[in-house]
Amino acid sequence: MGSLSEKLKKIGLETSKCYQCGTCSGDCPVAKIDFSFNPRKIVLETSKDAWIDSNLLWKCATCYKCYRCPRDVKPAEVFSVARKILVKEGDRPKVGESFARIIKKYGELSELKLVFDVKGFKSINMTPPTVIWRMFRKGKINIRANKSPSADEVKRIFEIVGGSNGR
């Protein structure tokens, strides 16, 4: 138990060390496009144990441009651990769920199946028809993606880990 900041601190991530210089936000490529994603602000909210929108945390591209934090707060790592904690508390991020579902079933990712699992029929609008056609012609769309030779063992791993994570 304990608050989010306490849980982070326990594994060496001290968000209270942040002095709000904004280096992370300046370096973050996502923040330059989507103003709702402001790493400096999310770190501050984390240190204050304010409510955090999990959708916002999942907008981190995990590119680690924020690695050069002068206070070594590790924003990308903070967001990753925060996502893990929220999932344990019942959050069900759609993309994370789809990744787990597809990997559990096939042992590997079929991009096509993953996209359909997340977006449903809206997937068709995601890629220009010329690109889909080219991919198809060049054998890059694996329609009949079968299970990988790893599939049985991968499924077992999901089953064994079970418990609160047994999805």
Partner 1 sequence: MEDEKLKYAYFPGCSSKSTSVEYHISTLRVAEKLGIELIELEEANCCGTHNLEDYNEDVWLSLNARNMALAEGVAASVVTICSGCYLNTKKAKMMLQENGTREKINKVLAEIQREFRGEAEVKHILDVLVNDFGLDNLEKFVEKKLDLKVAPYYGCQLLRPPEITEFDHPENPQSFENLLDVLGCQVVDFSRKTDCCGATLTLVDEKIMKGMVKKILDEISKIEVDCISTICPLCHYALESSQFSLNMEKIPVLHATQLVGLSTGLSPVELGLNRNLISTEKVLKKLK
- Which residues would be at the binding site for partner 1 (CB under 8 A)? 29-30, 32-34, 37, 58-59, 61-65, 67-68, 74, 76-77, 80, 83-84, 87, 93, 95-100, 103, 107-112, 114-115, 118-119, 126-128, 130-131, 134-135, 138-142, 145, 148-150, 153-154, 156-158, 160-161, 165, 167
For residue 132, with 0-12 CB atoms within 10 Å meaning exposed, 13-18 middle and 19 or more buried, which class applies?
middle
- In the complex with partner 1, the residue whose CB is nearer, 27 or 45, is 27
The least CB distance from residue 155 to partner 1, in Å, is 10
The least CB distance from residue 158 to partner 1, in Å, is 6
Q: Which residues contact 122 (CB under 8 A, 6 or more apart)?
A: none
d(CA 27, CA 39): 10
The least CB distance from residue 144 to partner 1, in Å, is 11
Of 94, 91, 74, the closest CA to residue 83 belongs to 91
